[in-house]
Amino acid sequence: MVPASGYPGELERDVTLRNGSVVRIRAIRPDDAPRLQALHSRLSGESAYQRFFAIVRTLPPDWARALANVDYQRRLALVVEAGADADLVGVGRYEPTNEADTVEVAFVVQDSWQNRGLGTILFDAILQAAATRSYRRFRAYVLNDNKRMLDLIGRFTRVESRKTEQGVTDLVFTLAPEKVPGAT
């Protein structure tokens, strides 16, 4: 597939995970919509619920198309490909909020690929891509029982605010200064 106009080829890279597996991270393309549906179909009910906060058994085609079509600036998603068939095993994204310098981030990793460090790598990659595009603040809505995600945000960022209502924690955070591209 020929990448879309404005496609950020500089975000493509191979990454070696803790167990020695090599995966490819790259920006999403519109033709990834069916592959997003396939990834969703391989998620456990718990992983899908933690990502969408609802029971979504199959990712509807119109949702997949909307998620796969980004402008690479205001909206960006990174996918992780693995295996000989380059199946998608993870996706991280940011979306605009009503605050100019703040984007909402979210990601999910296929259950069989969890516990290899991929979530941390994907989280860092999407935050770095956003920071390179001048976004300095991040927001995430995380289910209270998603301790792994809450811990990840707490360990690798500076949490500015944290508010919990009805089982959902709303976090606003920034990168630590040493993680901001171009920071001295």
Where residue 86 sits, what CATH number does that domain have?
3.40.630.30
Q: Answer yes or no: is 66 within a domain.
A: yes
DSSP string, 116-168: SSHHHHHHHHHHHHHHHTT--EEEEEEETT-HHHHHHHHHHEEEEEEEEETTE
Q: Give me the helix-helix angle, 61-68 and 33-42, nearest 10°.
A: 120
Q: Answer yes or no: is 129 within a domain.
A: yes
Number of domains the chain contains: 1
pLDDT of 183: 46
Q: Which residues contact 129 (CB under 8 A, 6 or more apart)?
A: 8, 11, 76, 78, 94
Residues 157, 139: contact at Cβ < 8 Å? no
| pLDDT band, very low/low/confident/very high, at 54 (cuts 50, 70, 90) | low
Domain span at residue 43 reads: 9-135
pLDDT of 184: 40
Q: Answer yes or no: is 171 within a domain.
A: no
Is residue 3's pLDDT more than 80?
no
pLDDT of 44: 73
Residue range 147-183, pLDDT digits in tens: 888 999 998 999 999 999 998 999 999 997 766 554 4
Is residue 125's pLDDT more than 80?
yes
Residue type, 72: Y
Q: Answer yes or no: is 145 within a domain.
A: no
Is residue 86's pLDDT more than 80?
yes
Residue type, 66: A
Q: Answer yes or no: is 144 within a domain.
A: no
